[in-house]
């Protein structure tokens, strides 16, 4: 009895804390990326890639603008159902804009993956991330078109976990720097570490959102 009373409220508090951390980190990432748009100067570019970015300005800026849109809009799509249902039209438009961001950011990211710092292993990591990002976005879109709401939600959780790779990549890089790992080694590692664990956490979250429903049934 006590357990039944305590567990849901604890879960509610945990969700609120998780959402707050998510939006704060997303905002930070948004601001960090916006320096590319605000300051038209090579000084703010990723140090090791200044020459590449200058030569592929359109691609990197396209990637950044689309990705920024997805980063900042995503958390609002995960507000409690009572809110998203009340503002359903807004939820739909934010969702469409979010997926446009993923589409534009994803193709820009795929293009940039061929040029990424760190050589083949890093390029493969970023390239596969871009493809999985685009595919999970496509799955989320298809599911909502077919009104399979529960499964749509699950694909969106996976998709945003991948959007969040931009945040986790930078957090891992800070950690590696603190423990004294060479930047090049850290960079190659985070090309994978920034997103594979995120996907595992996404599966964990999905199982907690709908613990009684198998992941692949219709809503």
Residues interacting with ligand HEM, by CB under 6 A?
A: 29, 33, 36, 46, 49, 63-64, 67-68, 70-71, 105, 109, 112-113, 116-117, 126, 129-130, 133, 162-163, 165-166
Distance in angstroms (rounded) separating the CA atoms of residues 24 and 19: 9
Q: How far is the CB of 67 from ligand HEM (least distance, A)?
A: 3
Is the Cβ of residue 71 or residue 154 nearer to ligand HEM in the bound state? 71
Is the Cβ of residue 130 or residue 140 nearer to ligand HEM in the bound state? 130
Tell which phi-psi region holds residue 180, choosing left (phi > 0), alpha (psi between -120 and 50) or beta: left
Is the Cβ of residue 95 or residue 109 nearer to ligand HEM in the bound state? 109
Is the Cβ of residue 148 or residue 197 nearer to ligand HEM in the bound state? 197
Contact 68, 209 (CB under 8 A): no
Q: How far is the CB of 6 from ligand HEM (least distance, A)?
A: 36
Is the Cβ of residue 130 or residue 193 nearer to ligand HEM in the bound state? 130
Q: How far is the CB of 48 from ligand HEM (least distance, A)?
A: 7
Q: How far is the CB of 65 from ligand HEM (least distance, A)?
A: 9
Q: Find the largest Cα–Cα distance for the chain.
A: 64
Q: How far is the CB of 209 from ligand HEM (least distance, A)?
A: 22
């Amino acid at each position: 009895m006590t357990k039944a009373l305590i567990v849901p409220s604890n879960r509610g508090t945990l969700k609120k804390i998780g959402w707050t951390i998510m939006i704060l980190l997303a905002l930070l990432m948004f601001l960090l990326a916006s320096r590319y748009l605000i300051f038209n100067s090579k000084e703010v570019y990723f140090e090791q890639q200044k020459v590449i970015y200058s030569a592929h300005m359109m691609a990197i800026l396209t990637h950044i603008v689309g990705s920024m849109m997805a980063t900042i809009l995503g958390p609002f799509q995960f507000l409690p159902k009572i809110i998203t249902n009340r503002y359903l039209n807004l939820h739909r438009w934010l969702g469409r804009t979010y997926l446009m961001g993923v589409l534009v950011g994803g193709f820009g990211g795929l293009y940039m993956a061929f040029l990424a710092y760190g050589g083949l292993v890093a390029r493969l990591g970023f390239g596969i991330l871009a493809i999985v990002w685009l595919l999970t976005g496509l799955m989320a879109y298809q599911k909502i078109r077919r009104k399979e709401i529960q499964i749509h939600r699950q694909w969106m959780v996976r998709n945003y976990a991948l959007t969040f790779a931009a945040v986790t990549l930078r957090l891992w890089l800070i950690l590696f720097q603190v423990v004294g790992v060479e930047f090049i080694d850290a960079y190659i590692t985070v090309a994978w570490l920034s997103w594979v664990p995120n996907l595992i956490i996404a599966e964990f979250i999905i199982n907690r959102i709908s613990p009684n429903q198998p992941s692949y049934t219709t809503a």
